[in-house]
Amino acid sequence: MTDSDRQWWRGAVIYQIYPRSFMDDNDDGIGDLPGILSRLDHVAALGVDAIWISPFFRSPMKDFGYDVCDYRDVDPVFGTLADFEQVIERAHALGIRVIVDQVISHSSDQHPWFQESRQSRDNPKADWYVWADPKPDGSPPNNWLSVFGGPAWQWEARRRQYFLHNFLASQPDLNFHAPAVQQQICDDVRFWCERGVDGFRFDACNFHFHDQQLRDNPAVLASATISSVRVENPYSMQQHRFDKNRPENLPFLQKLRATLDLHGAISLGEIGDEEALALMGQYTAGGDKLHMAYSFNLLTAQFSAAHIRGQVEQLEASINPVGGWGCWSLSNHDVVRVATRWGKTDPDARLAKILLAMLASLRGSICLYQGEELGLTEAQVAFADLQDPYGIAFWPEFKGRDGCRTPMPWTPAAPCGGFSQAKPWLPMPPEHLARSVATQEAAPDSVLHFYRRFLAWRARQTVLRHGDIAFLDAPEPVLMHVRQLHDGEGPALLSAFNLGDAPVTLPLPHELAARLTAVDGHGVTGGMLQGDTLTLSAYGGFFGALADGKGGDD
């Protein structure tokens, strides 16, 4: 294996597949592995480097696969282990690597490990989960809260103790302070490596360890109240100092990395925290922990060129000194789709195009969520159709994650858009049918065709995959930067993106404009350089090679 092959993940484009909603092969209304297999040609045509498949392991589906009860088998709703091996074989034949979603901070309460652990305080698995005695008054051992609402502790009468659950009560936290747990997790990772998996996305990877003294988390504000903070979820009212982000996680990540390195597999860690950017630096430092990490910092409602620049610059300051690597995304299975989140009602298709160009031009790897290549909007799911326990708990202030998890529309045919012949587990939004894959295949100017053109062009730009980044001052809503290879090879590449719905005329310094030559072939329109003036149409963009700079291909 060449060094280039080993480093494929740097600057990679990763396509996330949420299997329940991608393609239903057996017409039971739920997507499955054979369905993924049948649509891999669509993914390959996008020009991505890898697919990330959300959990397909055995599970009672209380959190739709993020509650695992067998880390080494496929849930029958998705197919069989043989089906998964066919997906790997076909993906590899198409030049696509396969990343699986490992949920190791917690398991399902139906996992045999927990079923044994809960029986007594002295069985072989007694310390595999986080157990604690009640306070003298019978209340939970401390003030830790669940992400999904309420206390993070659940009473177990058989042990007369509480167990920790950072998410649902049916998702007990594994005790990573137990060496046997760490070894078991590494063994389960090895199981999938031996079946040809190329990498792992580690869910909630900053939740692995807890403070063994069980100290209370401090408040975000000393005088915080529900009325003053105005949060829909009280989880946001605490500084999560003791229930996650613990220093013991770093040695464990080194142990996990050693397992991955034996098999040439890579890791992508999900980090959800107020201080996520700093943690991404710690967790990817030194080349001996995670290969790369991503946060939710561009998955919020805040949308401006200044915000994007600020987040990227903060990450660069965190990871560059320690040799780390980041990964950016604008949508995933947990947040409102970016077309709606940033484009509001009836978003312009040009916004979907410029957002891809902007995202794929940042330093780091990127994740694309299924349906982004169609410019899909967030679905409005009625309360009666909700499946997400998070949304059911906090309705109507928070409507949950079902709106971004509705089925992929493959054809414009109502009612199921080619996803299934049966009623889907979540309804197919009628407005998505007009954005179906088949509809956009027939429209050369569609978002889908733009994705293919742009990603094909980006794959040839070494500077966009590996180069450094330096932002240039520009008025809102323009984001402008220069990418340049660290070793000084090749011309630098200037990129400018108008993220707004009105044209912008931008004067450039003469010494900069005189060195610029427009670059073609990427499919981005709406940018024109005339003399020292750069004009960008609404949602327009511009790429230009800098004559004496460093870093780009043709």
Cis peptide before 409 (omega within 30 of 0): no
Does any domain span residue 342?
yes
Residue 36 counted as domain residue: yes
Closest among 356, 360, 315 to 483, alpha carbons compared:
360
Q: Are residues 440 and 538 in the same domain?
A: no
- State residue 2's pLDDT score: 74
Q: Active site includes 73? A: no
Same domain membership, residue 406 and residue 304: yes
> Is there a domain that residue 156 lies in?
no
Secondary structure (H, E, C), 391-444: HHHHCCCCCCCHHHCCCCCCCCCCCCCCCCCCCCCCCCCHHHHCCCHHHHHCCC
pLDDT of residue 1: 63
On whether both 492 and 535 belong to a single domain, the answer is yes
Going residue by residue through the chain (554 aa), what tens digit of pLDDT does each one get?
676 788 999 999 999 999 999 999 999 999 999 999 999 999 999 999 999 999 999 999 999 999 999 999 999 999 999 999 999 999 999 999 999 999 999 999 999 999 999 999 999 999 999 999 999 999 999 999 999 999 999 999 999 999 999 999 999 999 999 999 999 999 999 999 999 999 999 999 999 999 999 999 999 975 444 444 446 789 999 999 999 999 999 999 999 999 999 999 999 999 999 999 999 999 999 999 999 999 999 999 999 999 999 999 999 999 999 999 999 999 999 999 999 999 998 899 999 999 999 999 999 999 999 999 999 999 999 999 999 999 999 999 999 999 999 999 999 999 999 999 999 999 999 999 999 999 999 999 999 999 999 999 999 999 999 999 999 999 999 999 999 998 777 889 999 999 999 999 999 999 999 999 999 999 999 999 999 999 999 999 999 999 874 434 44
Please report whether residue 72 resides in a domain: yes
Q: Which of 261, 275, 348, 553 is catalytic?
A: 275
8 Å CB contact between 234 and 201? no
Same domain, 255 and 199: yes
Give the CATH number of the domain where residue 24 resides.
3.20.20.80
In this structure, the answer to whether residues 445 and 507 fall within a common structural domain is no
Q: What is the CATH number of the domain that holds 473?
A: 2.60.40.1180
Look at residue 395 in the predicted model and tell me its pLDDT. Answer: 94
Strands 57-58 and 516-518 come out as unpaired
Both 370 and 504 in a single domain?
A: no
Residue 285 lies in a domain: yes
Q: Is 554 exposed, middle or buried (0-12, 13-18, 19+ CB in 10 A)?
A: exposed
Determine the Cα–Cα distance for residues 80 and 34; give it in Å rounded to an integer.
Answer: 9
Out of 203, 270, 373, 388, the active site residue is 203
From the list 518, 458, 507, 445, the residue with the least C-alpha distance to 478 is 507
Q: What tokens were used for 270?
A: 């999900």
Rounded Cα distance between 294 and 290, Å, is: 11
Q: Are residues 437 and 296 in the same domain?
A: yes
Check whether residue 301 and residue 426 sit in a common domain. Answer: yes
Q: Does residue 203 have an active-site annotation?
A: yes
- DSSP-assigned beta bridge partners for residue 469: 483
Number of structural domains (the chain) is 2
In a domain, 269, yes or no: yes
Which among 457, 482, 498 is the end of a domain?
Answer: 457
Structure tokens at 93: 């034949």
Q: What is the pTM for the complete model shown?
A: 0.96
Same domain as 472, residue 453: no
Query: Is beta strand 478-484 parallel, antiparallel or unpaired with respect to 492-498?
Result: antiparallel
- CA-based angle 105:111:116, to the nearest 5? 105
Determine the Cα–Cα distance for residues 189 and 2; give it in Å rounded to an integer.
24
- In this structure, is residue 316 part of a structural domain? yes
203 located within any domain:
yes
Phi-psi region of 378 (alpha: psi -120 to 50; beta: other; left: phi over 0): beta
Domain that holds residue 333: 3-105+179-209+244-457
Are residues 421 and 473 both part of a single domain? Answer: no
For residues 485 and 416, membership in a common domain is answered with no
